[in-house]
Amino acid sequence: NEDTEWNEILRDFGILPPKEEPKDEIEEMVLRLQKEAMVKPYEKMTLAQLKEAEDEFDEEDMRAIEIYREKRLQEWKALRKKQKFGELREISGNQYVNEVTNAEKDVSVIIHLYRSSIPMCLLVNQHLSLLARKFPETKFVKAIVNSCIQHYHDNCLPTIFVYKNGQIEGKFIGIIGCGGINLKLEELEWKLAEVGAIQTDLEENPKKDIVDVMVSSIRNTSIYDDTNSSNSDNDDTK
């Protein structure tokens, strides 16, 4: 909009804010390039690239590079320490104590006891494989049930135990206990998060709407039954 003399008068009296001067795009570009030029090239390099380019830096740069390299190395070690799992591993019964009960301190361990002939077990394994990648700080393992527990009933499968510091923090036993035959990945993620095995970014239970509908249906049925019972009682007294 074109400025008017009246607006200039209002600005002089402080009623309107000062008029913004048009920005010079060339000047902005120059300032941006100057800022980028102040960034040392080694700050954008990987550890391998730093090693190859050592001869190109002066003594002052080399001191800064050593500090920077040490910082990057510590960050890498911290990341490796946090992300030391990242897959669903198969274990046998004789590994149970070492891998699960006596696992590293403060590390959550999720173990799935399964039988490959049960479709629900295969579905749970698929979901756990994906969750193991998403939550590499949690240990995910699976074991054929017979290698751990003899004569375990099929109606108790799949079975998921969550351990931490040698104690069972959560357990899901059987098809219903694990979430049903139509179990979704997000639903299993939520169940594991509820017992503290993982830290999910899901904001609410994916099954919440289904549960609400079921509760509503049960309530409506109960009201309907109570109404019919009341009407029947009234009829009997006539």
Average pLDDT of every residue of the chain: 79
Contacts 24+ apart (CB under 8 A), 69-75: 72/47, 73/47
Instruction: Judge whether 84 lies within some domain.
Output: no
| Inter-residue contact 192 to 177 (CB < 8 Å) | no
Taking the C-alpha atoms of residue 218 and residue 88, their distance in angstroms, rounded to an integer, is: 39
Q: Is the pLDDT of residue 214 over 70?
A: no
> Which structural domain, as residue segments, surrounds residue 121?
89-204
Residue 167 lies in a domain: yes
On whether residue 38 sits in a domain, the answer given is: no
* pLDDT score of 155 more than 60: yes
Q: Which pairing describes strands 167-173 and 159-164: parallel, antiparallel, or unpaired?
A: antiparallel
In a domain, 45, yes or no: no
- Side-by-side strand order, sheet with 159-164: 88-90, 139-144, 108-114, 159-164, 167-173
Q: Is 129 within the bounds of a domain?
A: yes
Coil, strand, or helix at residue 114?
strand
Radius of gyration of the chain (CA): 32
CA-wise closest residue to 96 among 145, 137, 130:
145
Distance CA 73, CA 76 (A): 5
So what's the pLDDT on residue 63?
74
Q: pLDDT tens digit string along 33-65?
A: 656 554 455 555 666 666 666 666 666 666 776
Place of tokens 């009623």: 15
Percent of the chain's residues with pLDDT above 70: 60
CATH code for the domain in which residue 127 is found: 3.40.30.10
The arithmetic mean of pLDDT across residues 217-235, rounded, is 56
- Identify whether 56 is part of a domain: no
Q: Is the pLDDT of residue 8 over 90?
A: no
Q: What's the domain count of the chain? A: 1
Beta bridge partners of 114: 144
For residue 80, being part of any structural domain is answered with: no
Domain-located, residue 66: no
Residue 27 has pLDDT above 70, yes or no: no
Q: Note the pLDDT of residue 68.
A: 74
| pLDDT tens-digit map of 215-225 | 455 555 555 55
